[in-house]
């Protein structure tokens, strides 16, 4: 009798256990099917941000290229040896020693550049008096300084825009992360959260990586340009003083 009761209990319990196992198996299969592919690299994070995320990354890439180009341009062009050629300085001094204003002006025209423009401003106004010539030199120096700093100022623009784009990407990533928490469940939630948070962190890091050297280079080249401008003004005033002594009547 006991064996009969045991057999009946086993026959009743076995189908329920098998049914529960089948339910668990089907849930696991469904979760595996709905889960997205595993994030394998940076490009998956970029694609996970959608069209707006791709736009942000294109903007960051453009700012990175612009910063590199501006830094290289400043390294090549904002140099004393390039802006104030020693050959021009010696030729102008020789012309003034010879007492030829026209020759000195022609030397400046033969070697065009910021320093030549400042010298020409003084030479063309020296007939109206040396005070007028000095004023013209100051105005020309301000103009050349503005031209020189024009490209350098773009580094400051890049340095301010890059972290702003990075912050915008961070906000987008956090919005997508919270949306994932509210709309997704199961294994898919973890994968999508990883993509969204990676988007936020990557864009922040990229913006800072671009901004730090851009802003540092801006201050460095701005100070170098100011030093070059002061050197040009000083050399120009020395030339004008030499010209003034040359034209003063001997007693």
**What does the pLDDT read at residue 154?**
92
Q: What angle do CA 138, 142, 68 make, to 5 degrees?
A: 150
Which residues of the chain are modeled with pLDDT < 70?
1-42, 44-45, 48, 99, 182-191, 242-251
**What does the pLDDT read at residue 194?**
73
Q: Does pTM top 0.75 for this prediction?
A: no
Structure confidence by residue, pLDDT tens digits, 182-235: 666 655 666 677 777 877 788 889 999 999 999 999 999 999 988 888 888 788
**What does the pLDDT read at residue 35?**
44
């Amino acid at each position: 009798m006991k064996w009969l009761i045991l057999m009946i209990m086993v026959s009743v319990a076995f189908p329920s256990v098998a049914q529960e196992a089948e339910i668990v198996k089907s849930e696991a299969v469904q979760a595996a099917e709905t889960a997205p592919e595993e994030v394998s690299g940076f490009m998956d994070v970029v694609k996970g941000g959608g069209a707006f995320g791709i736009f942000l990354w294109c903007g960051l890439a453009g700012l990175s290229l612009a910063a590199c180009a501006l830094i290289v341009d400043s390294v090549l062009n904002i140099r004393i040896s390039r802006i104030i050629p020693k050959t021009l300085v010696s030729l102008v001094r020789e012309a003034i020693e010879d007492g030829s204003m026209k020759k000195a002006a022609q030397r400046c025209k033969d070697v065009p550049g910021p320093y030549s423009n400042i010298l020409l401003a003084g030479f063309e106004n020296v007939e109206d008096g040396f005070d007028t010539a000095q004023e013209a030199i100051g105005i020309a120096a301000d103009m050349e300084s503005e031209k020189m700093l024009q490209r350098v100022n773009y580094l400051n623009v890049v340095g301010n825009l890059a972290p702003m784009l990075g912050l915008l990407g961070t906000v987008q990533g956090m919005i997508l992360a919270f949306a994932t928490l509210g709309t997704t469940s199961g294994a898919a939630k973890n994968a999508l959260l990883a993509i969204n948070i990676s988007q936020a962190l990557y864009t922040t890091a990229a913006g800072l990586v671009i901004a730090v050297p851009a802003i540092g280079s801006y201050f460095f080249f701005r100070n170098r340009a100011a030093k070059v401008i002061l050197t040009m003004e000083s050399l120009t005033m020395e030339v004008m003083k030499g010209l003034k002594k040359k034209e003063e009547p001997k007693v």
